[in-house]
Amino acid sequence: TCLKIVSEAVVSTQSTGVFGDELLVFTMAEYHEDPVGVLDTIFKHVGVYLPDLTELREFIQNSNIDNTNSDVKKSFGGMFDETRHLLHNFYQPFNEDLADFLKDPKYKFDK
């Protein structure tokens, strides 16, 4: 079983078989919007112990997890438009392949 954060998506796979129903993908936006729901789905998908959702929600809310480099980012300012454009162009073919494979256009991350 493997859980990876890849670019803009959270990907959960089981190490048996060749993808199909065993590939589970979430966007980071979906995770940030509903972390308990996403983790619940991932736990069920990979067949591991499902914690009490109330306790999980409390744990997430009390974790105070911040991006460890957010202060550094603030001191430098936002990403340059040119950099954002370069990254978008680099990842676009991979995102399109993922969207086609999953038959879900939301993974194209269009501008």
The per-residue pLDDT for 86 is 94
- Each residue's pLDDT, cut to its tens digit, for the chain (111 residues) gives 444 444 445 555 444 445 555 778 888 888 889 988 988 888 888 888 888 889 888 888 887 666 566 677 677 777 899 999 999 999 999 888 888 888 888 888 775
Q: What is the DSSP string of the chain?
A: -EEEEETTEEEEE-SSSSSGGGEEEEEHHHHHH-HHHHHHHHHHHHT-----HHHHHHHHHHH----TTHHHHHHH-SPPHHHHHHHHHHHHHHHHHHHHHHT-GGGG---
Which two tokens mark 44? 């069920």
The per-residue pLDDT for 81 is 92
Please, which residues bridge with residue 56 across strands?
A: none
